[in-house]
DNA sequence: CCGTATCCTGCCGGATACTG
DNA sequence: CAGTATCCGGCAGGATACGG
């Protein structure tokens, strides 16, 4: 049996597979934080910007388009004035976000270990390199 | 109650938090694939390069250093000739990879839905914009 | 308020060559 | 085999201004 690809039709480890692109939308710098923020509940554009600290208008807009195109986010625009647009996860997006959040929460919860490992690594490297 | 940050000491949604950097190492383009590849078992540098289709020497080396520094990957070098170096996940790295793999497998398994959503999106956009 | 268009810079990351 | 060093092109992504 092939342990790498298994019997999946889409193998992210293969350069040409479209799943790699989607994975990058999901796990990318802003994609992951956007999905994480929407996991708490749908919200409007500027509220989303505030939740995802540091994202620019341009990047948030771009990220949302990619996620909407992949069927992970639903966009609900109301033709009022001033305009109001709400974003929320689709059922598929929610399932993705669940798994993503599990990862994010875990990493956050183990940051002390990570920071300790870094300190050890830097000390060892400093001792070797000496500069 | 604060639903965004909860009571976690490290909040990835905050611009300044070091957990954001680690999350990017883990979910980044090559980081995620490298952790995924190592999840199947430890292996040597060039075997890893073959598993992660498309990665360059430079990027793999760089990725491995970052993951090693974060305490997710262990590097075992033997001073033989020719040199032999084995990489494997640490216990912490394995836990991270477990959650990451759950996400990757899920996305791979739902690619048909994603591709269908894209087709719908592109058709609708084409009908609107016309250009 | 909700975005898109434009410009510009930094760094991501590929190719290549070299070391141990 | 297992990397590091160097160069450099392209695009991610920030700032700003403007349109609906």
Average pLDDT estimate for B6-15: 84
Residue B87 clears pLDDT 50, i.e. is over it: yes
Q: Which domains does chain A have, with CATH numbers?
A: 19-128 (1.10.10.10)
How many A×B Cβ pairs under 8 Å? 158
Q: C-alpha A3: how far from its chain's center? A: 26
pLDDT of residue B6: 54
- Most B CBs within 10 A among A52, A106, A108, A129, hence the mutation to make, goes to A108
Percent of chain B at pLDDT exceeding 70 = 90
Residues B32/B29/A95/A78 CA torsion (nearest 10 deg): 160
Q: Which is higher by pLDDT, B76 or A130?
A: B76
Considering only residues 12-71 of protein chain B, which place a Cβ less than 7 A from any atom of strand D?
Answer: 44-47, 57-58, 61, 65
Gap between the Cα atoms of A123 and A126, Å rounded? 5
pTM of the model: 0.91
Residue B106 clears pLDDT 50, i.e. is over it: yes
The verdict on a CB contact (< 8 Å) between A69 and B118 is yes
The verdict on a CB contact (< 8 Å) between B23 and A32 is yes
The reply to whether A58 Cβ lies less than 7 angstroms from strand D is yes
What residues contact residue A67 under an 8 Å CB cut-off, 6+ apart?
A25, A26, A31, A34, A35, A73, A93
Mean pLDDT (10-residue bins), chain A, 131 residues: 60 93 94 96 94 94 96 93 92 97 96 96 74 43
Residue-wise pLDDT for B17-74, tens only, equals: 999 999 999 999 999 999 999 999 999 999 999 999 999 999 999 999 999 999 999 9
């Amino acid at each position: 049996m092939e342990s790498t690809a298994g019997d999946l039709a889409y193998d992210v480890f293969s350069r040409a597979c479209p799943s790699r692109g989607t994975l990058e939308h999901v796990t990318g710098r802003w994609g992951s934080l956007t999905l994480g923020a929407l996991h708490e509940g749908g919200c409007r554009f500027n509220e989303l910007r505030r939740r995802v600290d540091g994202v620019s208008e341009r990047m948030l807009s771009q990220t949302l388009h990619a996620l909407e195109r992949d069927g992970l986010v639903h966009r609900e625009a109301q033709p009022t004035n001033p305009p109001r647009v709400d974003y929320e996860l689709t059922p598929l997006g929610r399932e993705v976000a669940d798994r993503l959040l599990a990862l994010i929460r875990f990493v956050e919860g183990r940051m002390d270990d990570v920071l300790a490992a870094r300190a050890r690594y830097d000390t060892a490297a400093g001792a070797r390199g000496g500069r």
